[in-house]
Amino acid sequence: MVYLFLSILFNTLPFVLFKLFAKYDIDVLQALVVNYLTAFLVGLLFLEESTTIYEVGNQSWLIGSILLGIVFIVNFYFTTLASQLNGLSVATVASKMSVIIPVGLGVFIYNEHLSPLKIIGIAIALLAVYFTSMKEASISKKCNFLLYPILVFFGAGIIDSSLKYLQTFYLPTNRIQLFSTVTFLFAFVVGILALLYKSIKGEIAFKGKNIIGGIILGVPNYFALYFLVKMLEAKAFQSATLFTIHNIAIVIVSTFVGILFFKETISKRNAFGIGLALFALFLVTY
């Protein structure tokens, strides 16, 4: 339960920081690259035992770590845009309702039972993402409002599913810290390549506040991944139940943070969507 609580805490903080990035006009890509460098360095500090590049290259989870690193930075970028354009609650719901993806895969990979209520919950979850993501706008703008939450939805689902798969079949307990550190390293490499490309094209201006924002984000981001994997490893609940409890808490906390600290307004349609999301998560858990 301690790992569950800590995972909820550290996985909520990035959504709050994304809103602050918009407030202080921090460049998203620059901050994300510095964030992953920071997370990598934090990981090095917390490694319990020394290792070599040769040893890392022989790990069975290395390919998964590389692919996750790519998905991490791409999905983080879309999550930041969704938080800024659609609101904190929308980005969080889109990200955390992706629980239906690992839950669905759990049926086929881990032989977990999917009851009729869970099937209904998955259907309601899809509706919840739509209603929560929609803002009052002209028809021509609605597709733009939906684009980033949908991308976040699938990106987060891929991340959760991949983490569960790697933790179950490839990742030993004594390699969780190393896995987290290596994953952040590859996310940083991808980000650096993107920055170099934009820099060559003259589309980017480096500023100190972007570096500071990235450092502040990097520390909780490392622990968000670390405690998420530790939570899965503890096996206190069936994976479907665990993901659901975890994601419900993050949706609720981030929604109230958005209302209380960022003065976000939630329309009746959005409130209905959030209610559907919680109900869907309850059905999946039940």
pLDDT band at 260 (very low <50, low <70, confident <90, very high): confident
Output the CA–CA distances (angstroms, integers) from residue 34 to 31, 57, 188, in the order listed: 5, 24, 8
Query: CB of 220 within 8 A of CB of 227?
Result: no
pLDDT averaged over every residue in the chain:
84
> Could you read off the pLDDT of 219-240 as tens digits, one per residue?
999 999 999 888 888 776 677 6
Mean pLDDT over 243-259 rounds to: 79
Share of the chain above pLDDT 90, in %: 32
Q: Token pair for residue 231? A: 């939570």
Does pTM surpass 0.85?
A: no
Q: How far is CA 222 from the centre of its chain?
A: 12
pLDDT band at 138 (very low <50, low <70, confident <90, very high): very low
> Could you read off the pLDDT of 191-227 as tens digits, one per residue?
999 999 988 888 888 889 999 999 999 999 999 999 9
Q: Look up residue 277 and give its amino acid.
A: A
pLDDT higher for 142 or 170?
170
pLDDT of 277 higher than 50: yes
Query: CB of 124 within 8 A of CB of 244?
Result: no
pLDDT of 140 higher than 50: no
pLDDT of 139 higher than 60: no
Pairs from 228-235 (Cβ < 8 Å, separation ≥ 24): 228/7, 228/11, 228/163, 229/163, 229/167, 229/171, 229/176, 229/179, 229/180, 230/3, 230/7, 230/176, 231/3, 231/4, 231/7, 232/163, 232/164, 232/167, 233/167, 233/173, 233/176, 234/3, 234/4
Output the CA–CA distances (angstroms, integers) from residue 112 to 107, 118, 186, 227, 240, in the order listed: 5, 11, 32, 23, 8
CA angle 237, 238, 244 (to 5 degrees): 85
Q: Token pair for residue 132? A: 């929560």
3-class secondary-structure state, position 114: coil
d(CA 146, CA 91): 11
Mean pLDDT over 50-60 rounds to: 87
Question: Percentages helix, strand, coil for the chain, rounded to the nearest 5?
Answer: 85, 0, 15
d(CA 243, CA 194): 32
